[in-house]
Amino acid sequence: ARFDALNPQPPVRPGLELATATAAGDVLSINGLPPLRTPRAVPLLIQTAQAGPCQLVVTNLANFQGIRCVLMDATTGRTVPLVAGATYAFAATPGRSPRFRL
């Protein structure tokens, strides 16, 4: 809560917007979660202005050392381990969607 940053509905522009959603329905650009001691799923929202191919690239997992982190895609049903250098390609649809969970 102390490090959270609200993410209001951003203007639609080219590219991909990412945010997380809290149980209370807040949409956050920065989600300062407490240390992860038990498994939990964090909804990851995406927003795009237009349909088309997108790719998520994992560059750093510094805050997840010793924690197994995966990306779950609700549209395809795929679960992908997140490790440094991992990529995930998908077809995006316009608008804001709760497609993924971490």
Tell me, what amino acid is at 40?
R
- What is the model's pLDDT at position 9? 64
pLDDT tens string 6-30: 676 655 566 778 888 887 888 887 7
Instruction: Flag the least confident range among 31-45, 59-73, 77-91.
Output: 31-45
Q: Which residue carries 């995966």 as its tokens?
A: 70
> Checking phi first, is residue 77 left (phi over 0); if not, alpha (psi -120 to 50) or beta?
left
The answer to whether the predicted template modeling score (pTM) of the entire model surpasses 0.95 is no
pLDDT at residue 73 above 90? yes
Mean pLDDT, range 68-86, rounded to an integer: 93
List 47's β-bridge partners, or say none: 17, 96
